[in-house]
């Protein structure tokens, strides 16, 4: 018996040593993938419930901005378009009809959909021509705040008012008193107070896209949100502007960030400003002071010398019953400290040059996207489940919110200096002359767009495709 027992022990020890040795032998890439495990689900888990929505894109005339009649293009006759709310596990089926004078599609920004539902003309589906319909169907894999918009001539179609919000609630939503969506946008109006009818102008292409002269929250200026003292809400911000970056300042209000681009943080963090670039979402936990009534102005301070009032939060009335609960969080956000020591998978240089149909082209690695119909081979092919470090070098002086479809990434560094953002993103703002590093592990196979979310830059060539192979 003795030797057998000893043999067993020796065997166990040897097995353990072998496991330790193989852990040490893992490549850094493999260790990064292990650290990523469980960050978000690889597969959707449909619970059998199908939520059906109608979505119609058509011209409309609506009281918007300061209340004047504005000729827009609208989803379901409203701007912002509808907010579709579903629970995680439910399947979304959207019967979309195009009554615009142009072809269009619907792209589900930030939602990890099957590639064929991603709404990219010629790449994932045919354009939806005027009078035609298309059924979008998918089961979201992640709970969070997402939005949808056209992916055809988006610098015109989004600017004219085509965008809506998709809220995927947790299976058990946290007990906030209220769940409020603020869609931030701006409009470039002409002297007749209508949408300035020239798009992709040389001026907008040479600068940071089309920045408007009227800023709206949910389509209106002068918005007020009334809260009772002590009321605690979940406030979902979405930047649907073509080019404008917002950095909302909530003053003395108690505000925490709970999610960025749909996904929860490792743990909520106090809000101290955030560069909300076109495409970005931010979910905030906002608590009105229990004792003080008053008005709290929310002001955009992206350019501190040019503040823009966004909305007023008016605290008034009978106090809300106090209830304490931990803000929702997501334990698995990899630190990926090792990521900056492995080689860059691919570098993308960003710059502009003269040429193209608009007079200026924006390029990734000197290539301008020739339009969805001529997308060409992917800029990069990545195997599903592998770690990738991508580096973007902004050789220009302009802003570029880099957005990827079908995947989330973590910002690793700005100008080589490590940053520890405890969250994933699908869009990150790259500043003038800046270099950024991002890390990601793609989980969803398909052909995905990567582009600048300044829509004029995207239309003028700053767009490419990334392929994720199974």
Q: Which residue among 83, 88, 109, 212 contacts ligand C2O (CB under 6 A)?
A: 109
Of 239 and 300, nearer to ligand C2O (C-beta) is 239
Q: Is residue 149 involved in binding Cu ion (CB under 5 A)?
A: no
Q: How far apart are CA 224 and CA 222, in angstroms?
A: 7
Q: Taking contact as CB under 6 A, which single stretch among the options 129-137, 172-180, 243-251, 449-457 is the one that binds ligand C2O?
A: 449-457
The span from the CA of 39 to the CA of 366, in Å, is: 34
Q: Among 107-115, 149-157, 423-431, 451-459, which window interacts with Cu ion (CB under 5 A)?
A: 451-459
In the complex with Cu ion, which residue's Cβ is closer, 57 or 452? 452
In sign, the C-alpha dihedral spanning 208, 214, 219, 225 is positive
176: CB partners within 8 A, 6+ apart: 232, 233, 234, 285
Q: What is the distance between the alpha carbons of residues 448 and 405, in angstroms, rounded to a whole number?
A: 5
DSSP 166-208: EEEE-SS----SEEEEEEEEEE-B-TTSSB-S--S-HHHHHTT
Instruction: Based on the shown chain and the rule CB under 6 A, indicate whether residue 449 belongs to the binding site for ligand C2O.
Output: yes
Letter string b/e over residues 183-217, b meaning 16 or more CB atoms within 10 A of that residue's CB: bbbbbbbeeeeebbeebbeeebbebbbbbbebbbb
Torsion (CA) 77, 146, 137, 461 in degrees, nearest 10: 90
Least separation in angstroms between residue 414's CB and Cu ion is 17
Under rule CB under 5 A, residue 452 binds Cu ion? yes
- Least separation in angstroms between residue 21's CB and ligand C2O is 45
E strands within 214-340? 214-217, 223-227, 232-239, 248-249, 254-260, 263-270, 281-287, 294-300, 308-315
Q: For residue 245, give Cα distances in angstroms to 391, 417, 453.
A: 22, 23, 11
Which residue number, 236 or 457, has a Cβ lying nearer to Cu ion?
Answer: 457
Stretch that binds ligand C2O, among 49-57, 164-172, 413-421, 448-456 (CB under 6 A): 448-456
Per-residue contact flags (x/-) with ligand C2O for residues 252 to 291, judged by CB under 6 A: ---------------------------x------------
Give the closest residue to 467 by CA, choosing from 32, 104, 109, 123. Answer: 123
- Give the nearer residue to ligand C2O in terms of CB position, either 287 or 464: 464
Nearer to ligand C2O by Cβ, of 109 and 425: the residue is: 109
d(CA 349, CA 364): 5
**Interaction partner, residue 141 (ligand C2O, Cu ion, none; CB < 5-8 Å by kind):** none
- With CB under 5 A, what is the number of residues at the site for Cu ion? 4
Element (H, E) at 353: strand 346-354
- Near ligand C2O by CB under 6 A, which window of 134-142, 246-254, 361-369, 447-455? 447-455
- Cα separation, 238 vs 203, whole angstroms: 25
400 binds, among Cu ion, ligand C2O, none (CB under 5 to 8 A by kind): Cu ion
Task: State which residue, 236 or 403, has the beta carbon closest to ligand C2O.
Answer: 403
Spell out, one character per residue from 393 to 412, where the chain touches Cu ion: x when CB under 5 A holds, - when not: -------x------------
Residue 457 interaction partner, one of ligand C2O, Cu ion, none, beta carbon < 5-8 Å per kind: Cu ion
Q: How far is the CB of 83 from Cu ion (least distance, A)?
A: 28
Footprint of Cu ion (CB under 5 A)? 400, 452, 454, 457
């Amino acid at each position: 018996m003795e030797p057998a027992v000893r043999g067993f022990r020796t065997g166990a020890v040897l097995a353990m040593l072998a496991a330790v040795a193989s852990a040490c032998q893992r490549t850094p890439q493999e260790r990064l993938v292990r650290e990523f495990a469980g960050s978000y689900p690889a597969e959707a888990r449909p619970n059998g419930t199908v939520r059906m929505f109608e979505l119609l894109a058509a011209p409309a005339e609506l009281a918007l901005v300061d209340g004047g009649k504005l000729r827009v293009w609208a989803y379901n006759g409203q701007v912002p378009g509808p907010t579709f709310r579903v629970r995680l596990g439910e399947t979304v089926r959207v019967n979309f009809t195009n009554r615009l004078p142009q072809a269009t599609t619907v792209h589900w920004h930030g939602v990890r959909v099957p590639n064929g539902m991603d709404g990219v003309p010629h790449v994932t589906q045919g354009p939806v021509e005027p009078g035609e319909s298309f059924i979008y169907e998918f089961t979201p894999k992640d709970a969070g705040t997402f939005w949808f918009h056209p992916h055809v001539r988006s610098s015109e179609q989004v600017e004219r008012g085509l965008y809506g919000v998709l809220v995927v609630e947790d299976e058990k939503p946290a007990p906030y008193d209220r769940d409020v969506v603020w869609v931030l946008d701006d409009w470039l109006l002409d002297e007749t107070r209508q949408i300035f009818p020239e798009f992709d102008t040389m001026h907008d292409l040479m600068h940071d896209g089309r920045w408007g002269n009227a800023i709206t929250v949910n389509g209106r200026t002068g918005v007020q949100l009334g809260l009772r003292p002590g009321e605690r809400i979940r406030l979902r911000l979405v930047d649907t502007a073509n080019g404008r970056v917002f950095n909302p300042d909530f003053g003395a209000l108690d505000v925490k960030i709970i999610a960025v681009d749909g996904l929860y943080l490792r743990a909520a963090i106090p809000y101290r400003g955030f560069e909300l670039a076109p495409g970005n979402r931010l979910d905030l936990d906002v608590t009105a002071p229990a004792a003080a009534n008053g008005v709290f102005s929310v002001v955009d301070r992206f350019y501190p010398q040019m503040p823009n009032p966004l909305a007023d939060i008016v605290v008034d009335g009978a106090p809300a019953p106090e209830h304490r609960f931990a803000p929702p969080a997501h334990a698995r956000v990899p630190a990926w400290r090792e990521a900056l020591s492995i080689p860059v998978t691919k570098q993308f240089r960003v710059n502009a040059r003269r040429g193209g149909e608009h007079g200026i082209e924006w390029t990734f690695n000197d290539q301008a996207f020739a339009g969805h119909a001529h997308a060409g081979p992917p800029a990069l092919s990545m195997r599903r489940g592998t770690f990738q470090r991508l580096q973007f070098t902004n050789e220009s002086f302009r802003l570029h919110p880099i957005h990827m479809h079908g995947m989330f990434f973590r910002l690793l560094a700005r100008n080589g200096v490590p940053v520890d953002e405890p969250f994933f993103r699908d869009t990150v703002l790259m500043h003038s002359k800046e270099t950024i590093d991002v890390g990601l592990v793609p989980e969803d196979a398909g052909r995905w767009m990567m582009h600048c979310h300044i829509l004029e830059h995207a239309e003028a060539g700053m767009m490419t495709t990334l392929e994720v192979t199974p």
